Structure 1
């Protein structure tokens, strides 16, 4: 039995999220169908995490077990010929039997993108949240700094979160502005359900002048979802990267 780790990118617009659902098209469902077509095996892939409906990924990771003798270097091409055009396998490599794409992950990086231009970009609109009025990005950056470090992020996750605790560590977080395009990059050891989108929705209030950047600290300490802002739209969010130990041992 082999354990194979795979890096995949996908346009989330046409999916009901990454994880298999009773209804709707999912990334996991399409990949598992492709593996079955290729090998005849019924497989359940293990994702590094879930992405919600409409959220994109440039570097999602998953692993799966197979009895297939297909050479590792052939998996990406073989699966891509059996996948829809909005899913692309980037690479595949062998990992130890105990490797687990979610539990072995050390760092994850997300990007949320806002377009502050007067009109949406017809070619980029599906990957950017259009906000046609000015934002105070410096104030948003100041608010974001309160979230760096190890904290209880109860205020910044969905009330439907099923995790046993909401303590996570944010290693790095910043805003980068490129003309009318504003990117928020955030890297942590893990993220809760809707966490990045709630952070972004709250910081939009800061950018609009509805809230002072210093209030982010009290919202964090309050540990109550009702204190934070709305959940930002999913299409502006992208999972950029998932990092493992250098030996890929998990």
Structure 2
């Protein structure tokens, strides 16, 4: 995994007042002397949301979560996030944080334990009980901001907190992260199903369908060319205006075929949306781990792998492009074949994990 020093170096170059960091303001941040910070690990289905980051119309993961917390705490709430995901992208291990006042912690402690205002208070116990209460509130809830009541009911449970943990006040969901892991699912079939049965609907929400078979060995070799050593990923990303972070990253990248097993098999580790008793397509999982991902970097990598796997691009051309950008003059960027800069659809992508220096 990338060394923590590299991650901190990135943080030192990045502006800390941008929208991605979702910094709190005076109207939504409790007094510093009385705050307790909690880290929330989230899972969500991004299909019906316009990404993670807050938008004026309110139909984002952040807006739904802040609305839920605002209803609980009866005040404006602003969370701080590990980063953001685009519209349609999913997550199993996203992390955000929220600050509560001491009075709010004690109130949640009393609500969870049923104790009176005059009961003896153990501060450590109160914080732990407040975390458990927050988890119960965020484990499943209706996502009603910016949508009709019917739409909110249809999305019940599409955002869920898997854990809520007390963390030190110097914890930063974005800048304290050591590395992130994304996965991307592909399924390949020439027709809906050889048996005449349609593929599960959920596949279309969580994986990219390729209407031809892919060369798995070629994709694995392409992944190896980019994995394990530092490369310049500027050509495999979309650099935003004012981007200060170094596009030279070290990534661990792998492609594997998902092997189907019965859903009642105790050893089955397959995501729920791929459980299927009679598979009629090949499914591949692309896994990437890095301390920092550039904008659309993962989706560009997957698009490149599919181009190689489908025969639209070859490994020699890919190797030449990698070498040219790693060793070339930044002022004279070499031309890249359009087949190697395709962007994979958002719905196949999932943020699987964000790692910190202690369990969350």
**TM-score normalised by the chain length of structure 2:** 0.65
Question: Unmatched 5+ residue regions in structure 2?
Answer: 1-34, 109-129, 144-155, 193-198, 260-281, 326-332
C-alpha spacing 1:161/1:207, structure 2 compared with 1 (3 Å): farther
Query: 2:313 maps to which residue?
Result: 211
Structure 1 position 130 matched with structure 2 position 209: yes
Per mean C-alpha deviation after superposition, the further-off stretch among 54-63 and 163-172 is: 163-172
Q: Higher helix proportion, which one?
A: 2
Structure number with larger C-alpha Rg:
2
What is the SS of the residue equivalent to 2:226? coil
Aligned to 1:184: 286
Aligned pairs for 1:1-250 within 5 A: 1-23=35-57, 25-67=59-101, 68-69=104-105, 70=108, 71-80=130-139, 82-84=141-143, 85=156, 86-117=158-189, 118-119=191-192, 120-148=199-227, 149-160=229-240, 162-178=242-258, 180-223=282-325, 227=336, 228-246=340-358
* SS of alignment partner, residue 201 of structure 2: coil
Q: For 1:24 and 1:221, how far apart are their aligned partners in 2?
A: 44
Q: Distance in 1 between matches of 2:334 and 2:292?
A: 18
- Residue 123 of structure 1: how far off its partner (Å): 3.2
Deviation string 1:176-208 (CA, Å, 9 cap, x unpaired) is: 102511110111111111100001111111011
Give the CA deviation at 1:40: 1.4
- Give the secondary structure class of the aligned counterpart of 1:54: coil
Give the distance between the partners of 2:93 and 2:343, measured in 1 at CA: 23
Matches of 1:231 and 1:124 in 2, distance apart? 19
Q: 1:242 aligns to what SS in structure 2? A: strand
Q: Is contact 2:186–2:348 with CA below 8 Å preserved after alignment?
A: yes
Decide which moves more: 118-127 or 96-105. 118-127
Structure number having the greater strand percentage: 1
Quote the offset at 1:235 in angstroms: 0.4
Query: What's the RMSD between the two structures over aligned residues?
Result: 2.0
